[in-house]
Structure 1
Amino acid sequence: MPRDSVTMAALSTDRRARKEGGGMVSILSGLRRWLMQEQRSGGRTGRSEGAGSRSARGALSGPDDEWPEDNRDTQAARHYHDGTKHPYGSLMDAGHFFDPATQPLLFKRYIGLESIPLPLDKSPLGVPALEAIASGPAPTGEPRIPDIGTLARLLSFSAGITRRIRYPEPVGEIAFRAAACTGALYHIELYVVCGDLPGLEAGVYHFDPEALALRRLRAGDERGVLVAATAHEPSVAQAPAILVYTDVFWRNAVKYQAREYRHAFWDSGTILANTLAMASAHEMPAKVAAGFVDTAVNRLPGLDTHREFALELVPIGYAPGTPPEPAPEVAPLELKTVPIARYEGDEPAIRAMHAASSLTDEEQVAAWRSSLPPRPMPVPSGRLFPLAPDPVEEMPQEPLESVILRRGSARQFSHGSISFRQLSTILDRALRGVPADFLDPGGTLNQVYLIVNAVDGLPPGTYVFHRDRQAFELLQEGHFRAAAGTLGLHQKLAYDASVNLFFLSDLKPILERFGNRGYRVAQLDASISAGRVYLAAEAQGPGATGLTFFDDAVTEFFSPHARSKSVMFLIALGKRPRRHGR
């Protein structure tokens, strides 16, 4: 991949110095020089000319250009990815300022709809978190029908409120949820489409975490609409209940602008990690379905697609037989909701990217749905460190429910070390592949790169994780804590962390195979895995937090190994500082 000249020049000093043993000084000076040139040029020079290049494509250059609407025209994904890079992506306003006083309402409130309380039992089932995140139930052919109590647990431990904390004005009270979310802006909504379940009549429902209740939007069994929309995906066709995950994008875009569309998949992914783990604990089959006719799914719960659109489906359970055929046309819904803000803005790039990655009919969905052929990993040339996880019988046995209820994004790390066994157990449990319609069992669209600062039993340095070998390959030994802080957008958490995990994807073959929608699933694959990392870390003691990053600088830092790859997600792990008096 031809590399950007500025980034390359900024970091080439580092590569020479690594050979000479002076990597720490040079990486910092290189990154600082690159960032200063970016600031002077307004970001015009810091563009990668690989998978995300506008200069290589030449078709799109600004936020107001006409975007392609065909999923196969991957200029859209390339333009969006480049335009939302840090720093100074062309779709971002460098002078943007978020005023917490303008924060939108973080709950979707329907007007005039009856509330159906959910009977939530928070008692643990006894399934350890480290077991639940690593596996799903083996298919038995026996019916697995969730009742309303099981549904309540799935919804609440995925996206329910776990704690409320009051901050000084203008922030006020924040109702924190079960899964991590960028900026605690909670822009992901959940809906239920089901047949008759024990304790719940067939219908289309919205999950209200504020009231811990469902609100019925449609009566009757409408699962057939989703079966048709997914081109008869078997897991959907045989599911007694299907969860629909949507994005109310202005809640997050008010702070993060056009980059919100990345966050839509980051934040739905961490929720999905919880959903899949809870389904596993209940021995309920569950699978992520990312391929569907977008307009059909959006129409079923009556979404205003200028503000909200569907991202993923998750069929829950197994019921032999097929649901009713869908009606020839789904009637529109005229339901009123409370406005989320006095002034609700717009980010045209978000809607344009979503439209460009949409599928329009069943034939497109059927053609889209297949896994990416596995690409062989390069043969390791560096020293290998095989994973050394805890034996299963020695792993912490804390139940999944208590881990979810306690989990929170770390706000501070000490410089203390975590153990190699802890890190090994986290990756062993979290990176076993996502059950999804775009992956083979155990497959992935991402590769994990690491900056190790303080892991007992693992030399500090940079690494790549080989899933096929279950081992870390040492790329460069050395102390890169300051570089980690710089790459992590100058955030102290990235600097203080014991280890930073970067999920990188080679977007070129992904977009060639899946079209623009490949961008959605590359982000999603990384975020679900990172959501599992959150849970696995919490189950063992280390803290975890998701962070943002300087896109091209990360790729250059890990090159030549990471050449042509793009960063999808960054999660930092570390030791929490001791509390006073403990």
Structure 2
Amino acid sequence: MSNGDGSAVRSYHDRTKHSPASVRASRHALDWANQPLAFKIYETLEPIALPRELPPIDVPALEAIARIESSTANECVPDLPTLTQLLYYSAGITRRITHPGGEIYYRAAACTGALYHIDLYLVCGDLPALAAGVYHFGPQDRALRRLRPGDHRRTLIEATGDEAATAAAPVILVCASTYWRNAWKYQARAYRHCFWDAGTLLANLLAVAAARTVPARVVAGFVDRAVERLLDLDPGREAAIALVPLGHTRDRPGPAPDAPPLGLRTVPLSAHEVDYPAICAAHLASSLETPEQVRAWHGQTPRPVAPAPTGPLTPLTPLLGATAPRDAIDRVILRRGSTREFGRVPIGLAAFATTLERATRGVPADFLDPPGASLNDLYLIVNAVDGLRAGAYVFHRERAALELLQEGDFRRDAGYLGLGQDIPADASADVFLLADLAPVLARYGDRGYRAAALEAGIIGGKLYLAAYAHRLGASGLTFFDDDVTSFFSPHAREKSVLFLVALGMSARRAQVVPSA
């Protein structure tokens, strides 16, 4: 069974929605004795250490996240320090805290439940200081391990239907998920998180690539089994989520070497794993089987005409040039966290406007054509932003303006919609990403669900980075699906919520920074 008409992922999405009734009825409890490892560790492969000392990246974070594409006019072959920056600032361990029960690891990108189920693989030809091969990046020791020798890029080029950026890339990264590492907590809903969490990781990767002027593009259309076989993934437990070709060269690889099954041993994740068939069913239903299918999948993004605004519009004026914060992208990533408690204080309108504008300039992706197209819309609950009335809004990106849908104090509603948590109630603003799945699935089939969720995750990751660039806080949250749509209706009628990010000032900082 391959990419269908969208009904399979619609069914999956509906069955994994949260509601007050579903939360009350759930009997799921976390089995702490069976918590999976947060790393994929190969037992027999020798580590290839990556550089520990990395040169600073002097490009401001707000510039890096806003760049959509780097020039391909000249050849660009990333060297080992650059590759290390790309890997480390996307998936690396940025902090370790030791406590009586062990160590807590903090990663470069946010992940649902801090369960870190996304791994990075690297497929390359011969590079400076790195031989051609298929590699796995191990965050636990900042090292590569070679699964296969030789240049296997041709396999990925063919799997993407000869996608142009992939064909010209000296290096191709692959994001892959191990389901159980997230399903331990989130059960079947973990398939959604494959794209949310790959998205936040890719937001970092794209920003660092832009800062280093390395061409990078997200490729979500590929023959799944061809990629999974190359990486020796177990299709019942793991899945390739996205490819990212890096760099540009005029040289093209020759035929790929044979890639027989490897059967490499990895350290068991936990004593036993629980299978959630809905995950594999959704993945199989949205899979592509041939390069011809992939080529047909690429194409112009469906974008229905947005209704003209009927409510009051507030133009947003982002900070530009020297007036915007200049904190470098690497420094911002290193201090990024997920805010667990917000202070109920207002944030500045200019910082808020800049965060929205920078995060929504576009994502370079094979399913977003022309550049700057988007599958998601931003709906907001504004609780405390200077110069904005409290209320519910929709963001008009092309107008750089917020339309007021309903004025009022909706802190209580925000807390309820965010699964009854204090975080969205206390935040200065909550950004909900919603997509009209009907035209997306009509154009892209079941795989369109992957694309919309992945883009939502990337935008969410950019919101994180933009907020921390302003020394604000951010937190990604889950939600009561249908209640979010109802709250923003009639404007959001028929749309599905895919991501939620709360923005504001952390409670700790709010105690020492006077409100405006």
TM over 0.5: yes
How far off its partner does 1:90 sit? 8.1
| Alpha-carbon displacement from aligned partner over 1:219-261 (angstroms, at most 9, x marks no partner) | 0000000000000001000000000000001011010000000
State the Cα RMSD in Å: 1.6
User: Structure 2: which 5+ residue stretches go unaligned?
Assistant: none
1:100 aligns with 2:32: yes
Identify the match of residue 224 of structure 1 among 136, 147, 154: 154
How far off its partner does 1:326 sit? 2.9
Distance in 2 (alpha carbons) for counterparts of 1:233 and 1:152:
25
1:154 aligns with 2:154: no
Residues 54 and 81, structure 2, Cα contact 8 Å, conserved in 1: no
1:412 aligns with 2:341: yes
- How many residue pairs are counted as aligned between the two chains? 511
Residues 83 and 89, structure 1, Cα contact 8 Å, conserved in 2: no
Residue type at the aligned position of 1:436 = A
Residues 92 and 258, structure 1, Cα contact 8 Å, conserved in 2: no
Distance in 1 (alpha carbons) for counterparts of 2:164 and 2:225:
20
Structure-2 residue corresponding to 1:199: 129
Residue type at the aligned position of 2:388 = L
Structure-2 residue corresponding to 1:75: 7
| Alpha-carbon displacement from aligned partner over 1:509-543 (angstroms, at most 9, x marks no partner) | 10111111001011011110110000000000210
Residues 91 and 349, structure 1, Cα contact 8 Å, conserved in 2: no
How far off its partner does 1:324 sit? 1.4
How far off its partner does 1:168 sit? 5.9
How far off its partner does 1:92 sit? 11
Residue type at the aligned position of 2:264 = L
Residues 145 and 197, structure 1, Cα contact 8 Å, conserved in 2: yes
| Alpha-carbon displacement from aligned partner over 1:116-146 (angstroms, at most 9, x marks no partner) | 0001333422100000000045424211000
Residue type at the aligned position of 2:287 = S
1:109 aligns with 2:109: no
Distance in 2 (alpha carbons) for counterparts of 1:408 and 1:515:
35
Residues 180 and 267, structure 1, Cα contact 8 Å, conserved in 2: yes
How far off its partner does 1:330 sit? 2.8
How far off its partner does 1:578 sit? 3.2
Superposition map of 1:453-492 within 5 A: 453-492=383-422
| Alpha-carbon displacement from aligned partner over 1:153-197 (angstroms, at most 9, x marks no partner) | 10000000011124564xx42211000000100000000000011
Residue type at the aligned position of 1:485 = G
Structure-2 residue corresponding to 1:321: 251
Structure-2 residue corresponding to 1:121: 53
Structure-1 residue corresponding to 2:172: 242
Residue type at the aligned position of 2:383 = N
How far off its partner does 1:577 sit? 1.8
Residue type at the aligned position of 1:397 = R
| Alpha-carbon displacement from aligned partner over 1:10-51 (angstroms, at most 9, x marks no partner) | xxxxxxxxxxxxxxxxxxxxxxxxxxxxxxxxxxxxxxxxxx
How far off its partner does 1:70 sit? 3.3
How far off its partner does 1:372 sit? 1.8
Name which of structure 1's ranges 116-125 and 541-550 shifts more when overlaid on structure 2: 116-125
Structure-1 residue corresponding to 2:505: 575
Superposition map of 1:124-203 within 5 A: 124-166=56-98, 169=101, 172-203=102-133
Name which of structure 1's ranges 467-476 and 386-395 shifts more when overlaid on structure 2: 386-395
Structure-2 residue corresponding to 1:45: none
Residues 357 and 397, structure 2, Cα contact 8 Å, conserved in 1: no
1:289–1:207 distance in 2 versus 1, CA, 3 Å: same
How far off its partner does 1:89 sit? 8.7
Q: Residue 456 of structure 1 aligns to a residue in which SS?
A: coil
Superposition map of 1:353-432 within 5 A: 353-432=282-361
Residue type at the aligned position of 2:235 = T
Distance in 1 (alpha carbons) for counterparts of 2:259 and 2:146:
16
Identity of aligned residues (%): 57
| Alpha-carbon displacement from aligned partner over 1:419-462 (angstroms, at most 9, x marks no partner) | 11111000111101100000020110000000000000111000
User: Which structure has the larger Rg over C-alpha atoms?
Assistant: 1
Distance in 2 (alpha carbons) for counterparts of 1:244 and 1:263:
17
Identify the match of residue 372 of structure 2 among 423, 431, 442: 442
Residues 194 and 242, structure 1, Cα contact 8 Å, conserved in 2: yes
Distance in 1 (alpha carbons) for counterparts of 2:392 and 2:512:
36
Structure-2 residue corresponding to 1:539: 469
Residue type at the aligned position of 1:409 = S
How far off its partner does 1:111 sit? 1.3
Q: Residue 442 of structure 2 aligns to a residue in which SS?
A: helix
Residues 115 and 213, structure 1, Cα contact 8 Å, conserved in 2: yes
Residue type at the aligned position of 2:42 = Y
Structure-2 residue corresponding to 1:304: 234
Residue type at the aligned position of 2:286 = S
How far off its partner does 1:467 sit? 1.0
**Greater RCO, 1 or 2 (C-alpha within 8 Å, sep 6+):** 2
How far off its partner does 1:101 sit? 3.0
Structure-2 residue corresponding to 1:3: none
Q: Residue 309 of structure 1 aligns to a residue in which SS?
A: strand
Q: Which runs of 4+ in 1 moved over 6 A?
A: 88-93
How far off its partner does 1:266 sit? 0.5
Q: Residue 9 of structure 2 aligns to a residue in which SS?
A: helix
Distance in 2 (alpha carbons) for counterparts of 1:570 and 1:309:
24
Identify the match of residue 509 of structure 1 among 415, 420, 439: 439
Q: Residue 500 of structure 1 aligns to a residue in which SS?
A: strand
Residues 507 and 565, structure 1, Cα contact 8 Å, conserved in 2: yes
| Alpha-carbon displacement from aligned partner over 1:325-354 (angstroms, at most 9, x marks no partner) | 234x53111211111111111111101110
